[in-house]
Amino acid sequence: MRYLQRHIGLREECAKLLPGARSAVCVALLYGRPRAESAARATGRVAQYARGRDYHVVVRRRLETLIAALRERLDEPFEARAFVDTGPILERELAAQAGIGWVGKNTLVLNQDLGSLFFLGEVLTTLDLAPDAPATDHCGSCTRCLDACPTGAFPAPYQMDASRCISYLTIERREPIPDAFHEAMGDWVFGCDICQDVCPFNRRAPAGRDPEIMEHRIPDRIPLETLVGLRSGEYRRLVRHTAARRATRAMWQRNAQIAAQNVGGAGG
């Protein structure tokens, strides 16, 4: 993902994103859903995070509300800037320093009680706030996430080769997906939840409750025949107001064709 190489200086020193910044307020919003009861044949799976209303919009709105509330309650004038996976900011590292969770072996932020199925958001501010204690690592000797990855995207604990990750392949890669990954992609057509599904901390984690995040805008499984023949209008209706817009119609079709080859559906 070449965009990660841009603005490296800002990522290393996020205070440059807001002159005079002294603190970062980090938040998490749950999006986990109950596990699907059945796996219908000839359907493609969609990662949980993309099925509700676009988290960029929802979390940013919550952060702007937080900033407004702070301005009402505090006499001290301050500047603030909100981020939701939209700026050159090391949000996982900030979340760990803020005590939300630790960066796990699958490179996602984990919380003992909340698991990892949550969105992150940050507010940089000129307020000088007392910091919370950083989170400590509780992965221990567990390697379930590493062992479960079908494409071998984790060369070592706490390291990810994004070019092998199913989420990257289905959402970020614009070029054709190498044949070597096709079979391992299974029936995923947008994103992947495998390394989170097997994590013990997610087994007892609470489900999301935000009504917009938990909307059923996109089903967990979509008939592959529908996706392979996806028309422009159908695509727009499918991804409207969701983070699934990140993948183009051609990418959805490409992913569905690969999934169909794997499960014997339309286009296989």
Name the residues annotated as catalytic.
85
- 54-57, long-range: CB within 8 Å, 24+ apart, which pairs? 54/241, 54/242, 54/243, 54/245, 55/29, 55/31, 55/84, 55/85, 55/119, 55/213, 55/243, 56/84, 56/85, 56/86, 56/243, 57/241
Task: Of 106, 133, 132, 128, give the one whose Cα is nearest residue 117.
Answer: 106
Kindly provide the residue ranges of all beta strands, DSSP E only, lying in the chain, ordered along the sequence: 23-30, 43-46, 80-83, 102-103, 109-110, 118-125, 188-190, 221-223
